[in-house]
């Protein structure tokens, strides 16, 4: 089994408890991060929205916030499509959001027409994509010129000090034990801090997006730089 398939199997295993663990581990603040991502993107994209694609959609949380924020902004979305390689996650998503469309697929092969998506989002999923460069190229292929890619992710930082120490202690000591207790899969929640440490800084992420044909328009870090929002426009 290759690395990508191992990650998918891990998410299949924790799918039933994933939403509960997320809310507990983030103390609910990820809700505000997601809302900010949606509202900032809607402020920038004034055209009609035919299609929003949420890649690595998991159980569909981000799709739900796209719809909620669209309703608040009086914006209409023609279609919301969630794409994820984990059948376990998607099954939970279908139960939560029966009106949304879901497809089982990898981030590197979206099975969508060229320039068909107005907005493509990926929340806390891009660090789990082994072939990231190929995924960014695929995103550029399916997003319309002038459309947006929206990334929420746990990015690596090299800062030191008291706040960094607190964050490091939570991510490496508290989170694996708490997540493991809720999911009964400690290994999956040990993977999380390790995957962040092996991921990119915010600057590196923006450079990879630039190479793929995107121009970053908005960057914001949340909660002691635990989470970063990057919104980039396709050139």
The residue range of the domain holding 87 is: 27-158+200-234
Q: Nearest-CA neighbor of 171 among 146, 148, 195? A: 195
Give the torsion sign (CA, 70, 71, 74, 77): positive
The lowest-confidence range among 16-20, 114-118, 149-153, 214-218 is 16-20
Task: Report residue 98 CA to chain centroid gap.
Answer: 20
| Statement: residue 137 has pLDDT above 70 | yes
In a domain, 49, yes or no: yes
Dist. CA 42–CA 55, nearest whole Å: 18
Q: Nearest-CA neighbor of 231 among 143, 115, 126, 149? A: 149
In a domain, 20, yes or no: no
Best mean pLDDT range from 7-11, 16-20, 130-134: 130-134
In a domain, 179, yes or no: no
Give the mean pLDDT of the chain: 87
In a domain, 177, yes or no: no
21: confidence class by pLDDT, cuts 50, 70, 90 = confident
What are 43-90's pLDDT values in tens digits?
Answer: 999 999 999 999 999 999 999 999 999 999 999 999 999 999 999 999
In a domain, 58, yes or no: yes
Q: Which pair of structure tokens corresponds to residue 130?
A: 């082994």
In a domain, 6, yes or no: no
In a domain, 143, yes or no: yes
In a domain, 89, yes or no: yes
pLDDT of the residue at 77? 97
CATH number, residue 39 = 3.40.50.150
Dist. CA 203–CA 184, nearest whole Å: 35
Q: Which pair of structure tokens corresponds to residue 117?
A: 């998506």
Whole-structure pTM over 0.95, yes or no?
A: no
14: confidence class by pLDDT, cuts 50, 70, 90 = confident
pLDDT of the residue at 152? 94
Number of domains in the chain: 1
């Amino acid at each position: 089994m290759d690395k990508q398939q191992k990650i998918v199997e891990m998410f299949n295993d924790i799918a039933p408890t994933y939403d509960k663990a997320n809310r507990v581990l983030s103390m609910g603040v990820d809700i505000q991060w997601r809302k900010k991502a949606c509202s900032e993107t809607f402020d920038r994209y004034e055209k009609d929205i035919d299609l929003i694609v949420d890649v690595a959609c998991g159980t569909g949380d981000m799709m739900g916030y796209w719809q909620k924020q669209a309703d608040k902004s009086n914006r209409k979305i023609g279609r919301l499509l969630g794409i994820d390689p984990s059948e376990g996650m998607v099954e939970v998503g279908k139960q939560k959001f029966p009106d949304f469309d879901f497809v089982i697929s990898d981030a590197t092969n979206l099975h969508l027409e060229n320039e068909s998506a107005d907005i493509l989002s990926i929340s806390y999923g891009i660090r789990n994509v082994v072939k990231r460069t190929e995924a960014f190229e695929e995103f550029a292929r399916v997003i319309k010129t002038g459309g947006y890619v929206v990334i929420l992710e746990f990015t690596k930082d090299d800062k030191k000090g008291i706040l960094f120490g607190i964050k490091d202690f939570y991510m490496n000591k508290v989170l694996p034990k708490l997540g493991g207790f809720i999911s009964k899969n400690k290994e999956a929640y040990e993977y999380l801090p390790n995957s962040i440490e092996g991921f990119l800084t915010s600057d590196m992420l923006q450079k990879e997006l630039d190479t793929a044909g995107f121009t970053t328009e908005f960057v914001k870090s949340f909660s002691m730089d635990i989470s970063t929002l990057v919104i980039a426009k396709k050139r």
